[in-house]
């Protein structure tokens, strides 16, 4: 997904945003970024307070908050994000309770992805050098999750990672590098355990 610079950013704010979404070092505490964070905080706090039966309002808030939202997406409260507009949720995806997405770089989630409770997707890495970190230096890398993937409870995904189509990430894993299609990956850091095969079918029918 090609990152978009918000139309209300001007001058230095546009430059900082451009550096942020393109993987260059940037000032993470720039006033324009802080302003955008306040805007999205109001939206996700409103979303988290909305009655679960008020589907129209929940959908409208998601569309205002996120970059794109496919049909049939479900996002349970409490959901939190950093900027919102860099998050793209594919059709039929399900985000369970207490998910946090830090989307300084794009987070692209495919169709029919399952995200279990208390998952964190973090594109941003603050500077390792103390002086740079204290000054607000950071760099961000995108996260991409393929169609049909399933992230178990308490999974953490770091910036620069692509999780393949149909992959399953075991609960409590920290994903620090790419995971191929149709495998089970577990651990900290997550490693591929095995492929998903016909033997994994349970014989379930509905």
Cβ(60)–Cβ(73) under 8 Å? no
Cβ(103)–Cβ(124) under 8 Å? no
pLDDT in tens, 78-91: 999 999 999 999 99
pLDDT in tens, 57-116: 999 999 999 999 999 999 999 999 999 999 999 999 999 999 999 999 999 999 999 999
**163 CB-near residues (< 8 Å, 6+ apart):** 144, 145, 146, 149, 151, 157, 169, 175, 178, 179
* Whole-number pLDDT of residue 4: 81
Omega of the bond prior to 147 within 30 degrees of 0, cis?
A: no
Euclidean distance between CA atoms 178 and 27, whole angstroms? 27
Q: Indicate the pTM of the whole model.
A: 0.96
Using the predicted structure, report yes or no on whether residue 11 has a pLDDT greater than 90: no
Q: Is 139 helix (H, G, I), strand (E, B) or coil?
A: strand
Euclidean distance between CA atoms 127 and 134, whole angstroms? 8
Which DSSP symbol is given to 199?
Answer: G
Cβ(204)–Cβ(149) under 8 Å? no
H or E stretch covering 41? helix 31-49
Euclidean distance between CA atoms 119 and 9, whole angstroms? 30
Task: Identify the sign of the CA torsion 10, 107, 78, 58.
Answer: positive
Mean pLDDT of 174-190: 98
* Whole-number pLDDT of residue 3: 80
Mean pLDDT of 38-51: 97
* Whole-number pLDDT of residue 2: 74
Q: Where are the domains of the chain?
A: 12-195
CATH class of 12-195: mainly beta
Place of tokens 């409260």: 77
pLDDT in tens, 114-169: 999 999 999 999 999 999 999 999 999 999 999 999 999 999 999 999 999 999 99
Euclidean distance between CA atoms 113 and 184, whole angstroms? 15
Given the residues 30, 88, 126, 154, select the one marked as catalytic: 126
Euclidean distance between CA atoms 46 and 160, whole angstroms? 30
* Whole-number pLDDT of residue 206: 86
Mark whether 88 is an active-site residue: no
């Amino acid at each position: 997904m090609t990152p978009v610079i918000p139309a209300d950013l001007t001058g230095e704010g546009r430059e900082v945003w451009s550096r942020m979404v393109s993987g260059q070092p940037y000032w993470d505490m720039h006033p324009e970024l802080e302003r955008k964070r306040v805007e999205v905080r109001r939206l996700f706090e409103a979303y988290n307070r909305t009655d679960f039966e008020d589907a129209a309002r929940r959908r409208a808030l998601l569309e205002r908050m996120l970059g794109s939202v496919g049909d049939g997406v479900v996002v349970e409260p409490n959901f939190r994000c950093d900027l919102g507009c860099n998050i793209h949720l594919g059709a039929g995806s399900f985000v369970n309770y207490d998910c946090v997405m830090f989307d300084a770089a794009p987070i692209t989630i495919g169709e029919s992805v399952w995200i279990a409770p208390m998952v964190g997707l973090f594109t941003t890495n603050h500077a390792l050098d103390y002086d740079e970190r204290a000054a607000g230096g950071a760099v961000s890398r995108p996260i991409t999750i393929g169609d049909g993937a399933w992230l178990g409870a308490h999974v953490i995904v770091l910036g620069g990672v692509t999780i393949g189509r149909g992959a399953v990430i075991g609960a409590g894993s920290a994903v620090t590098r790419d995971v191929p299609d149709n495998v089970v990956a577990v651990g900290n850091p997550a490693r591929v355990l095995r492929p998903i095969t016909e033997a994994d079918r349970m014989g379930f029918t509905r």
